[in-house]
Structure 1
Amino acid sequence: MMKDIKSLKKELPGIAEKLKKYREVLLANLVMVGEIPAPTFQESRRVEFILNRFDEAGLTDSSIDDAGNGIGVLAGSDSKSALLLNAHADTIFSEKTDHTMQVSSDSITGPGVADNAIGLAAMITLPYILEDLKIKLKNDLILLAGVKSLGRGNLEGMRFFLENNPFKINKAICIEGIQLGRLSYSSIGMLRGEITCRVPETYDWSRFGDSSAILTLNEVINKINDMRLPRRPRTSIVMGSIEGGSSFNTIARDATLRFEVRSESQEVVERAGETINDITLEVSSKTGDQVELDIFAKRIPGGIPYSHPLTRCARVVMESLDIEPRLAPSISELSALIDKKIPALTLGVTVGERTFKTNETIQIEPIYKGLAHLIGTILAIDGGYCE
């Protein structure tokens, strides 16, 4: 039976207002962490900075594990179990990208500010806030700056941590920068890969304009687009990125498509993957070009139900803060937690736009509600309201 959460609900609107006094320290953490480049597989400098902030907050058990994850432990008064708080440390932007954060009175703009500098800043600042508000948790709070999460990282950092940590984790929260009100409690099936077309080295270049890797890839794309996908279970193929060639007047020797298959059904995902593989073999045989399929990430559907006490707690906290829930499945770190049968949620911190662009922008004012939702959910879990 779920404990009555009414007493906690009354306190939460007041917490949101109190959080405004932490604006300077929160934004300072955001700017400092956001201006350290951290492309996937190259997060070490950012993680080292986060560990320094953990040390300054008095988290004596902070460490970096063998995968490169940054770990901080805020010890509880009981320590019989632990709540995991995760924010991925990597971004899609390269070391060469200018990571300067532009701060105005009401917003912050910069590459990766929404995904996931603000999520990291919220996690880094949390121990300071809890101490200042004199909030003492019963359970241990494990803070994880996870590496190798995005793209080809395939949640490697989180998976390593879950396999090798010594903590008694019974629930988890994943922090994403946007959007405020995000509530993910389940994962969908997913298959992520690349299709690369290459014109053979032996190609006769005197045959004017007769072949191009881009034309070959276009044929692959047309065939994928013609695939029949079911409406139920809901299924989609996202063709997210194409690149190829080098100039206006040179035939492209290679071209690459990056794509994802997503479905509520794992069987549908697998069948779609098999069909795409058949397409690449067919086009390669027909054109004589090399067409290679590389599948490097998969997810399995799962999660907790909408009626689960953890999900209900998060919704009650949202209601008390006048936050509109945005329900959507996730294919990020939540998936790894689901695989380990750990009840978990993904929550958003603020409102943002232009995600994945160098002028990615977040709004400052909604952050306080997002932090209050995070703290309220932590208190609900720690107080036994989510059992």
Structure 2
Amino acid sequence: MISSVNDPSLFRAYSNAILMDKYIYITILTTLFCFTMYSQSEPVIPKKEYSKEINKLTKDKTIQTALQKIDDLDEETIKNMITLNEIPAPPFKETKRAKKYVEMFAEIGVDSVWIDAVGNVLALRKGKNNDTTVVLDAHIDTVFPEETDVKVKIEGNTYTAPGIGDNTRAMAMLLTVLKAMNIAKIKTEADIVFVGSVGEEGLGDLRGVKHLFSEASDIKIDSWISIDGGSKGRIINGGLGSKRYKVVFKGKGGHSWGSFGLANPHHALGNAIQLFTKAASEYTNQKGLKTSFNIGRIGGGTSVNSIPFESWMEIDMRSLSPERLVEIDAILKKCMQQAESDYNASGIKDKVTLEMIPIGDRPSGQLSEDLPLIQRAISVATYLDIKPKVRTGSTNSNIPIAKNIPAITISRGGKGKGAHSLNESWSNIEGSKNIKMALLILISQAGMSK
């Protein structure tokens, strides 16, 4: 295994390569690089104590019954997935789907189920010791507008529709976990709350999970498990933080000929983009944890022969480091203020004004792989012959991770394609494996009770 660029074999390869044709040289270095990257992405190995814990848990007859029931319920899981997917649920308009989800939880059987102040669905299954609460979460919302055709098309074991993978498959998984636990009569020490959270996508800005970890929440959460996307062995224990703004320059507006020389917000915005991209590029090229920026949308103006009264852009900035996220945020604000000042001092008539509207704030954070929840997830995946890979991502888990509360996001499994597209699909290839993974992690974290 190549574990470091200091490996002597790498230098020998380099020395020999420089004597060769340049194309062979490039091929050798590319191969070595890919091999090194492959080595770094090796699946993680669980600690023995947690492997023993999971092996002991899976020998329990009630657990074996629950695992078998997950297989038996496969058709019902698919049916639930289709039912939920065909109810539109864009951010801020999840109510109809949420109400159906409440009905489905109630039909399976929980101690109580309700919709909280911001629209989250909470289904409580009480444990023996209600001093602790473990959550299993799947977000309700999709990225698609309300008028989008969300009818599911079925071809063999492949289901195609906007939102089918992200995230109605995960919603259906929660229902199956609950039903399997009920049929097997599994009892836990901790309370379990199954959550259908709102506002995970886009401008929803994690509003559902932010509420759940606020003082206004209906529950106090001790451990958090989300299901959302990724390859089947992905276990997210790091939150990729982001800050997003809508930057708006405003002016009086007027005719392109009759008002020529009047302050033009588009011109100010162009200067702002140039200032920020130059400063941000210099910053992100420095050593440190990866940090990114992107201007994703630009708009404003009424016609080609009109000086616009408004010009805007939407900016996304991300970093693995909370400190670097703060620093690039400061760079953006400084550049926008400088652009406003410079343009207004350039000799134009009147002036433009600047407004910066926050439209997204996801905190960064990282939890140790040694935490029991994460070790249990790694052990469960290994037990199920799923290769676990610990990763960083931007999911509902960002909030508890940033608060140093045990939290992970695991995959919905199967095989997904085209997430966030109109041709999104999910194929039922060993789909039950990740439902079993969710159940075993949940019960191991909540604790079995006799």
**Which deviates further from its counterpart, 318-327 or 165-174?**
165-174
Q: Aligned equivalents of 2:254 and 2:210: distance in 1? A: 44
Which of 112, 120, 125 matches 2:171? 120
Residue 348 of structure 2: aligned partner: none
8 Å contact from structure 1 (residues 237, 259) kept in 2: no
Superposed displacement of residue 196, structure 1 = 3.4
Partner of 1:87, secondary structure, is strand
Superposed displacement of residue 66, structure 1 = 1.6
8 Å contact from structure 1 (residues 181, 323) kept in 2: yes
1:230-264 per-residue CA deviation (whole Å, 9 max, x = no partner) reads: 55432332426224368995668455433322223
Q: Please tell me whether residue 7 in structure 1 is matched to residue 59 in structure 2.
A: no
Q: Aligned equivalents of 1:212 and 1:101: distance in 2? A: 47
Superposed displacement of residue 313, structure 1 = 1.2
Q: Aligned equivalents of 1:106 and 1:234: distance in 2? A: 41
Structure 1 343/187 Cα, relative in aligned 2: closer, same or farther at 3 Å? same
Partner of 1:103, secondary structure, is strand
Partner of 2:89, secondary structure, is coil
Residue 176 of structure 1: aligned partner: 228
Residue 317 of structure 2: aligned partner: 261
Q: Aligned equivalents of 1:218 and 1:108: distance in 2? A: 44
Superposed displacement of residue 13, structure 1 = 9.9
| RMSD after superposition | 3.1
The percentage of counterpart residues that share the same residue type is 23
Alignment of 1:71-82 (within 5 A): 71-82=122-133
Which of 52, 59, 64 matches 2:103? 52
Q: Please tell me whether residue 276 in structure 1 is matched to residue 345 in structure 2.
A: no
Superposed displacement of residue 84, structure 1 = 0.8
Q: Aligned equivalents of 1:222 and 1:340: distance in 2? A: 36
Superposed displacement of residue 339, structure 1 = 4.2
8 Å contact from structure 2 (residues 291, 320) kept in 1: no
1:78-97 per-residue CA deviation (whole Å, 9 max, x = no partner) reads: 44422111111112211111
Residue 361 of structure 1: aligned partner: 425
Q: Aligned equivalents of 2:407 and 2:130: distance in 1? A: 19
Residue 319 of structure 1: aligned partner: 382
Superposed displacement of residue 290, structure 1 = 4.8
**Which deviates further from its counterpart, 265-274 or 201-210?**
201-210
Superposed displacement of residue 112, structure 1 = 1.5
Superposed displacement of residue 55, structure 1 = 0.9
Q: Given residue 361 of structure 1, which amino acid in structure 2 is its aligned partner?
A: S
Residue 241 of structure 1: aligned partner: 296
Superposed displacement of residue 215, structure 1 = 6.3
Q: Aligned equivalents of 2:336 and 2:258: distance in 1? A: 24
Q: Given residue 332 of structure 2, which amino acid in structure 1 is its aligned partner?
A: I
Partner of 1:333, secondary structure, is coil
**Which deviates further from its counterpart, 233-242 or 45-54?**
233-242
Structure 1 238/112 Cα, relative in aligned 2: closer, same or farther at 3 Å? farther
Structure 1 135/194 Cα, relative in aligned 2: closer, same or farther at 3 Å? same
Superposed displacement of residue 51, structure 1 = 0.3
Residue 206 of structure 1: aligned partner: 257
1:91-150 per-residue CA deviation (whole Å, 9 max, x = no partner) reads: 221111111122222222211222211111111232112223443333321011112333
**Which deviates further from its counterpart, 226-235 or 63-72?**
226-235
Structure 1 126/207 Cα, relative in aligned 2: closer, same or farther at 3 Å? farther
Q: Given residue 171 of structure 2, which amino acid in structure 1 is its aligned partner?
A: L
Q: Given residue 269 of structure 1, which amino acid in structure 2 is its aligned partner?
A: L
Superposed displacement of residue 14, structure 1 = 9.6
8 Å contact from structure 1 (residues 318, 325) kept in 2: yes
Q: Given residue 76 of structure 1, which amino acid in structure 2 is its aligned partner?
A: G
Superposed displacement of residue 270, structure 1 = 1.4
Q: Aligned equivalents of 2:174 and 2:295: distance in 1? A: 30
Q: Aligned equivalents of 2:316 and 2:352: distance in 1? A: 23
Alignment of 1:17-56 (within 5 A): 19-56=70-107
Partner of 1:84, secondary structure, is strand
Residue 296 of structure 1: aligned partner: 359
Q: Please tell me whether residue 160 in structure 1 is matched to residue 224 in structure 2.
A: no
Partner of 2:392, secondary structure, is coil
Partner of 1:261, secondary structure, is strand
Q: Aligned equivalents of 1:282 and 1:250: distance in 2? A: 28
Partner of 1:305, secondary structure, is coil
Which of 224, 243, 246 matches 1:194? 246
Q: Aligned equivalents of 1:270 and 1:135: distance in 2? A: 46
Q: Which has the larger radius of gyration?
A: 2
Partner of 1:268, secondary structure, is helix
8 Å contact from structure 2 (residues 256, 307) kept in 1: no
Q: Aligned equivalents of 1:30 and 1:289: distance in 2? A: 50
Q: Given residue 301 of structure 1, which amino acid in structure 2 is its aligned partner?
A: S
8 Å contact from structure 1 (residues 69, 144) kept in 2: yes
**Which deviates further from its counterpart, 313-322 or 179-188?**
179-188
Q: Aligned equivalents of 1:115 and 1:94: distance in 2? A: 14
Structure 1 267/134 Cα, relative in aligned 2: closer, same or farther at 3 Å? same
Structure 1 124/221 Cα, relative in aligned 2: closer, same or farther at 3 Å? farther
Structure 1 267/161 Cα, relative in aligned 2: closer, same or farther at 3 Å? closer
Structure 1 107/238 Cα, relative in aligned 2: closer, same or farther at 3 Å? farther
Give unmatched runs, 5+ long, in structure 1.
none
State the TM-score, normalized to the length of structure 1.
0.86
Partner of 1:312, secondary structure, is helix
8 Å contact from structure 1 (residues 170, 342) kept in 2: yes
State the TM-score, normalized to the length of structure 2.
0.75
1:259-300 per-residue CA deviation (whole Å, 9 max, x = no partner) reads: 322223222211211111222223334445555332233233
Residue 34 of structure 2: aligned partner: none
Residue 352 of structure 1: aligned partner: 416
Q: Aligned equivalents of 1:255 and 1:125: distance in 2? A: 49
Q: Given residue 236 of structure 1, which amino acid in structure 2 is its aligned partner?
A: T
**Which deviates further from its counterpart, 271-280 or 287-296?**
287-296
Q: Given residue 111 of structure 1, which amino acid in structure 2 is its aligned partner?
A: P
Superposed displacement of residue 333, structure 1 = 1.8
